[in-house]
Amino acid sequence: MNARALILGVAALCASVMAAPAQQQIETIRLTIGSSHPPVIPWVMAMRNTVVQKTNKALEAKGSKYRIEWNEAYGGVLYNFENTIEALEQGIADFGWVGTLWEPAKMPLQNIMFATPFVTDDPKVAVKVMDELMAKNEHFKKEWEAQKVIYFSATTSDSYQLFTKFPINSLADLKGKKILAAGAVGAWVEGLGATAVNAGIPNFYNMVQTGVGDGVILIPSGAVPIKLHEVAPHVTYVNLGTVTFGAFAANKQKWDGLPKEVRDTLLPIALEYAAENIRIVEEREKTGLERMKKEGAKINTLPEAERQRWANAMPNLAKSWVEAADKRGQPGKRIMEQYMSAMRAAGAKPARNWDKEL
């Protein structure tokens, strides 16, 4: 190669290198996402399926320089079911699932559906109504703001049923029994002669197995993964109701400190959480019944007359909820009427119209 050709070749190479864009330096943001429950549970799996699995793909598609390194801490690794809101408030986890059903003092409005059983069995209706309340009622928003936590989307369930060691053909069969239930669900056995024992899903199996409880009120999508029907093989479909009992949320300080483009990417994915939770719940509801039957559970449906008797036998939970809200300076009656009206407008057919008894 002559000198002139060599010079031209070097010049072309230099021009090519100078024209090539510099490779973007990736910045990694480390975040912890946690739950008191394991990822086999629908509302935990929904976090993984949306936020964990989709965020970096979305950031990459936008050409962002940021990536998230998720530290997934599920199954009570960092905190138990009684400390979910505190864990986010204190920054033990940056993102995670909050179980509002265990926060009757800090977040009583979020538990409105526990004060109104037998209203709807449709998880889509439950989420629609809670989203409406969060959007339109400042009192609901303030409960999250007071905990320094950002609410994204609600956790919902299939309808609550009974899992017991003994068969149930009528309400009389519950008299004198110890029924395990999480938080406010325990009030649902009042008036039936049974005793409610507060507990969470991670403890239900062992507590029934060791005789601490005779049965459990629980959603099948939460019961099947922990094989509750092995120790409580009598599954009685009562359809006590679908509720929203928590939410996917984040520590406010951590959220506010994220780069805007990361927040703008994360937010719509976080809002997908509720739809993914519902999808998993409905899928589990279909397959769970067959699995329980196959594994030896004895499935029964409480007669409709007994179900109505149960609804009527309950103390007026809604009235007590309203009175408690009034004492806190919140418009309890107006909130209850807004809620029940929204439920009926969304297609719910309550077995007991709680707002008519205030």
Taking only the tens place, the pLDDT of each residue in 243-271 is 999 999 999 999 999 999 999 999 999 99
Around Cβ 260, how many Cβ atoms within 10 Å?
A: 7
**In the chain, alpha helices (H):** 3-19, 42-47, 53-61, 84-89, 123-136, 138-146, 201-209, 220-223, 252-257, 260-271, 273-294, 304-313, 317-327, 332-345
- Residue 120 near residue 126, CB atoms below 8 Å: yes
**Do 37 and 125 have their domain in common?**
yes
**Do 341 and 299 have their domain in common?**
yes
Taking the CA atoms of 342, 346, 347 and 349 in sequence, report the sign of the dihedral they define.
negative
110 CB-near residues (< 8 Å, 6+ apart): 100, 103, 140, 143, 244, 246, 247
CA 29 to CA 67: how far, in whole Å?
Answer: 6
CA 190 to CA 187: how far, in whole Å?
Answer: 5
**Do 206 and 336 have their domain in common?**
yes
pLDDT of residue 203: 93
Give me the CATH number covering residue 42: 3.40.190.170
pLDDT band at 2 (very low <50, low <70, confident <90, very high): low
Which of 264, 284, 304 is the last residue in one of the domains? Answer: 284
Environment class of residue 26 by beta-carbon count within 10 Å: exposed (0-12), middle (13-18) or buried (19+)? exposed
pLDDT band at 40 (very low <50, low <70, confident <90, very high): confident
Mean pLDDT score, 266-278 = 96
- Residue 188 near residue 118, CB atoms below 8 Å: no
pLDDT of residue 96: 97
pLDDT > 80? residue 306: yes
pLDDT of residue 15: 47
What residues pair up with 249 in beta bridges, in sequence order?
A: 96, 151
Residue 91, Ramachandran bin (φ over 0: left; ψ between -120 and 50: alpha; else beta): left
Structural domain includes residue 16: no
- The model carries a pTM of 0.83
pLDDT > 80? residue 9: no
Identify which of 59, 156, 112 has the alpha carbon closest to the alpha carbon of residue 334: 112
**Do 194 and 220 have their domain in common?**
yes
Question: What is the amino acid identity at position 354?
Answer: W
Structural domain includes residue 143: yes
Which of 259, 284, 309 is the last residue in one of the domains? Answer: 284
Structural domain includes residue 5: no
pLDDT > 80? residue 1: no
Structural domain includes residue 18: no
Q: Could you give the percent of the chain with pLDDT greater than 70?
A: 94
Q: Could you give the percent of the chain with pLDDT greater than 90?
A: 85
Model pLDDT for residues 196-245, shown as the tens digit of each residue = 999 988 899 999 999 999 999 999 988 998 999 999 999 999 999 999 99
Q: Which domain holds residue 315?
A: 161-242+289-353
Structural domain includes residue 195: yes
Model pLDDT for residues 91-140, shown as the tens digit of each residue = 999 999 999 988 989 999 999 999 999 999 999 999 999 989 998 999 99
**Do 152 and 170 have their domain in common?**
no
39 CB-near residues (< 8 Å, 6+ apart): 45, 48, 72, 74, 75
pLDDT > 80? residue 151: yes
